[in-house]
Chain A
Amino acid sequence: MNLIDALERLNGPIAENARPLRVFLACGFTPLHLETFLAAHLRNLYPAYRVELHSGLFGDLVGNLERLRPEEHDALAVVIEWPDLDSRLGLRTLGGWEVEKLPDIVNSVNHSLERLMRALQGLPLALPTCICLPTLPLPPLFYSGTQSTSVFELTLRRNLASFAEAISIGRQVSVVSGQRVDENSPLAKRFDLRTEITQGFPYKTFHASVIGELLAELICRREPKKGLITDLDDTLWAGILGEVGVEGVHWHLEEHAQLHGLYQQFLASLASAGILIAAASKNDASLVDQAFERDDLLLLKTSVFPIEAHWSPKSESVQRILKKWNVLADSVVFVDDSPMEVAEVQGTFPEMECLLFPKEDYPAFLGLLNHLRYRFAKTVISEEDSLRLQSIRDSVAFREPAGDERNSLDDFLQQAEGRLTFRLGKPVEDARAFELINKTNQFNLNGKRYDEAAWAKFLKDSRTCLVTVSYEDKFGKLGRIAVLIGRLADEKFVVESWVMSCRAFSRRIEFHCIQYLFEKFPAAEIVFELQATSRNGPLMEFLQQLMDGPIEANPQLSRSSFLRKAPKMPHHVEEVPADE
């Protein structure tokens, strides 16, 4: 985006009823074009919002943070440059670069970092904060020359890294990736000495755009994809299994198949972070089974579910995988080395991201891994991430009970020995409820999403309550699988948001949730702030079971009606404090 595009984006019309998105840009220099680019990129990412950017006083980064009123902002972007830590590290002041002053500069930077740390630690945990560490070069002040790195510079960089590490642990602080800055903004396109001296703005417009975009991306995080479906032959491994046999497929350097080994290693990494991995291959199923038994495979068979190996079209395999995962096509990435297969799957699932595996193109391969890492980016790994795959295997068993059990769901659920745990309260540091609300589509009362600012506001609102629900049974733990937000009003409990992970379907957990509300709150009726979406069919079907007649806007369910229509609820229920 160049400056004129950014300005025109900001000068464009905004809906009158647009909600404000108030972002404080804390920097020590004149924010000038950085402010413009950040606002324009935010506007692109948040088209329904009226972006309001505020900044503080020139030359006082730490003071701006110390004076910040967090309640007046929805997010905070902090941009640090070396002169903010000691003005002698900039080119607008003449404090001296003599050798004897260098230790004092290092000490002064440490002092500033400590002050910066205190200022950031004084802000509420719930204020989404992103930080950009210095991106501009240090001036030539070190006697060791520009061809080697001075010990003073090494100390400065070490202390800066320690500061960033400390501030990002345990807080909602995201640090802009230095590697992404390096990739997107070459060093020569960053610093503008002329505008630094004449206007107090040190960035070339190109660099300002890059930094603005990266900050906007961190403020407005996109929902990560949930699963990856991979081809096998010439993708997960080199070679055609049906032609070369189980021992003939390769993925090691000495067999000239390193890219496939790296891809396996990458998928294993995704799986360990809770990303679903499945395989779709036109292949002999028994051969595939044998290949997955090879003990040198980097991606364990247990990390791949399901494996669709047969001769039907790939799109049919993908359809079956989506059904077993119970996720929608737009949450999934498909990877195959065959352009024809990629086109066939893409044609059937236009909303799915379908990517070609570039088996002979090294730069494109590295690009693929970086792109996949971006698509599956997570801020934290939760306990639920490690449970996800097993619980999906289990839920397939629930949906497809075998033999005599098929005729008796009651018995099957009873034998599952399910235990539900309800937590009533709003722990600030619990990211799981926020994540569930924002990524669940199918069992979702109204599709309402919360950005980080709205979530922070909700957490502070004493009129509303938050219920989170965890589940486990003899097949294993599902972890926290449902979130319910509501309020008590005139002897009615109004449900504002209600989501449940698709992994928890078919267990009657939704009935237990309603029963819990009736038992916990003195309400004769529950009102659902229902909104049909293109995806919440399962929620609509569930409510329909409980209602007399067609579902209308904001349907109400009386206690007596619920008791009359609810099936047998098989699980043991307990309630624990929210912070447990």
Chain B
Amino acid sequence: MNDNDDRLMRCFASALPNATGDEIRTAKLDAMAGWDSLRGAVLLAVLEEEFGVQIDLPELLELETFDAVKRYLLQQRA
């Protein structure tokens, strides 16, 4: 696991404390334990703070998965 993975996992785990590591890596965002619009707003803010990017909630929801979010962040920072 590289540094970006760790950081992203930390973001997901802090915003979705009820979701397991496996769940975060494999499940769709809106299927993760504890997911709701409030958690979405929290995840959004944490990602923005940690990675210095700006994302809108609908955009994040379209990404659907942890891996897709990771790819998106890499593109944004490229």
Question: Does B24 belong to the interface (CB within 8 Å)?
Answer: no
Checking A3, A194, A195, A201 against B46 with a beta-carbon cut-off of 8 angstroms, the contacting residue is A3
Interface residues of A (CB under 8 A from B): 2-4, 7-8, 11, 32-33, 36, 194-195, 198-199, 201, 205
Question: Does B33 belong to the interface (CB within 8 Å)?
Answer: no
Q: Is the CB of B41 within 8 A of A32?
A: yes
Minimal beta-carbon separation of B73 from chain A (angstroms): 15
Minimal beta-carbon separation of B57 from chain A (angstroms): 7
Jot down 30 A-B pairs with beta carbons below 8 A, ordered by A.
A2-B49, A3-B14, A3-B42, A3-B45, A3-B46, A3-B49, A4-B10, A4-B14, A4-B49, A4-B50, A7-B14, A7-B15, A7-B42, A7-B46, A8-B14, A11-B13, A11-B14, A11-B17, A32-B42, A33-B45, A36-B42, A194-B54, A195-B45, A198-B56, A198-B57, A199-B41, A199-B57, A201-B41, A205-B45, A205-B49
C-alpha spacing A2/B45, complex, angstroms: 10
Q: Is the CB of B41 within 8 A of A4?
A: no
C-alpha spacing A224/B46, complex, angstroms: 36
Minimal beta-carbon separation of A544 from chain B (angstroms): 51
Minimal beta-carbon separation of B5 from chain A (angstroms): 15
Residues on A with C-beta less than 8 A from B15 are 7
Interface residues of B (CB under 8 A from A): 10-11, 13-15, 17, 38, 41-42, 45-46, 49-50, 54, 56-57
Task: Tally A-B pairs: CB < 8 A.
Answer: 37
C-alpha spacing A194/B13, complex, angstroms: 25
Minimal beta-carbon separation of A533 from chain B (angstroms): 37
Q: Is the CB of A4 within 8 A of B46?
A: yes
Minimal beta-carbon separation of B37 from chain A (angstroms): 9
Minimal beta-carbon separation of B43 from chain A (angstroms): 10
Minimal beta-carbon separation of A209 from chain B (angstroms): 10
Given A7-B17, A8-B14, A33-B42, 11 more contacts at CB 8 Å? Answer: A3-B45, A3-B49, A4-B10, A7-B15, A7-B42, A32-B41, A36-B42, A194-B54, A195-B45, A198-B56, A205-B49
C-alpha spacing A511/B38, complex, angstroms: 60
Minimal beta-carbon separation of A118 from chain B (angstroms): 32
Q: By CB atoms of chain A within 10 A, which of B11, B13, B14, B57 has the most? A: B14
Q: Which residue of B lies closest to A33 (CB)?
A: B45
Residues on B with C-beta less than 8 A from A195 are 45
Residues on A with C-beta less than 8 A from B56 are 198
Residues on B with C-beta less than 8 A from A205 are 45, 49
